[in-house]
């Protein structure tokens, strides 16, 4: 036992610290909110209801149907159905999430290489049937329009889309023209 540990033991330092914390909470007012009358501001990055990102240029989903999100999902609650389009590109016919099975881990967001799926701040939803929690591609795109308006989507990806290159200590991407200038 070190000297500081011995001193702490003799003078009951840890017990006094704990009592101090208890007294502090006794004099501070309670912060219980009377939900739903009182609501707090939505917290950016909350893991709420899912949305599929709408590409502003095409007006369609950004998703390319690669299936990585579905492969990563621990609940196996993402279902993707694709077909081949006229230009031989993959077309996402159906993208569906069984929200009742989801554990809101956000692995799907992290796995997506295109930033095509997000978890929105919206958490106040309820329903009487299982079908109401079966989110189709159209409903997921509506969620994007409803809950990720303005700059919200951009801010979300800036702050919460992981992993990023810095997580792996990777060099920042330098474009060919920038390399030529050096
Ligand atoms: S948040 Fe997690 S459990 Fe829910 S759909 Fe995404 S990967 Fe699956
Ligand atoms: S949401 Fe992303 S990871 Fe999932 S299928 Fe679409 S592009 Fe692939």
Confidence of residue 79 (pLDDT cuts 50, 70, 90): very high
pLDDT, residue 93, reads: 97
State pTM to two decimals: 0.76
pLDDT, residue 63, reads: 95
DSSP, res 82: E
- Ligand 2 atom index nearest CA of 115: 2
| 84 vs 61: CA distance, rounded Å | 16
Is the pLDDT confidence value at 140 over 90? yes
Average pLDDT of the chain, as a whole number: 88
pLDDT, residue 51, reads: 96
- Domain coordinates in residue numbering, the chain: 1-31, 50-163
Q: Let me know if domain 50-163 sits in CATH 2.60.120.280.
A: no
Of all protein residues, the one whose alpha carbon is nearest to atom 2 of ligand 2 is: 112
List pLDDT tens digits, range 8-63.
888 888 999 999 999 998 888 878 889 989 988 888 788 999 999 999 899 999 99
| 27 vs 81: CA distance, rounded Å | 58
**C-alpha 68 to ligand 2 mean position (Å):** 6
Is the pLDDT confidence value at 145 over 70? yes
pLDDT, residue 181, reads: 63
Is the pLDDT confidence value at 166 over 70? no
Where would I find the H helices in 73-147?
Answer: 107-111, 137-147
pLDDT, residue 41, reads: 84
Q: CA angle at residue 140 from 135 to 145, to 5 degrees? A: 150
For 46, counting Cβ atoms within 10 Å of its Cβ (0-12 exposed, 13-18 middle, 19+ buried), the class is middle
User: Would the CA dihedral through 6, 7, 12, 17 be positive or negative?
Assistant: negative
Of all protein residues, the one whose alpha carbon is nearest to atom 6 of ligand 2 is: 63
Q: Who's near 124: CB < 8 A, 6+ residues apart?
A: 36
| Residue appearing with tokens 């809950």 | 147
């Amino acid at each position: 036992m070190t000297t500081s540990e011995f001193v702490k033991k003799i003078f009951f330092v840890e017990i006094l610290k704990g009592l101090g914390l208890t007294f502090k909470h006794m004099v501070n007012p309670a912060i219980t909110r009377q939900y739903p009358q009182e609501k707090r501001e939505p917290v950016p990055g909350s893991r709420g209801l899912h949305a599929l990102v709408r590409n502003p240029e095409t007006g369609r989903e950004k998703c390319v149907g690669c299936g990585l999100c579905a492969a990563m999902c621990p609940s196996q609650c993402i279902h993707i159905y694709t077909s081949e389009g006229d230009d031989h590109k993959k077309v996402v016919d159906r993208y569906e999430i069984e929200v009742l099975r989801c554990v809101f881990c956000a692995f799907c967001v992290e796995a997506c290489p295109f930033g095509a799926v997000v978890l929105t701040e919206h958490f106040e939803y309820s329903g009487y049937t299982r079908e109401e929690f079966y989110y189709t591609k159209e409903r997921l795109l509506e969620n994007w329009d409803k809950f990720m308006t303005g700059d919200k989507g951009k801010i979300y990806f800036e702050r919460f889309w992981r992993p990023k290159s810095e997580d792996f200590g990777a060099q920042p991407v330098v474009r060919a023209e920038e390399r030529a200038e050096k």
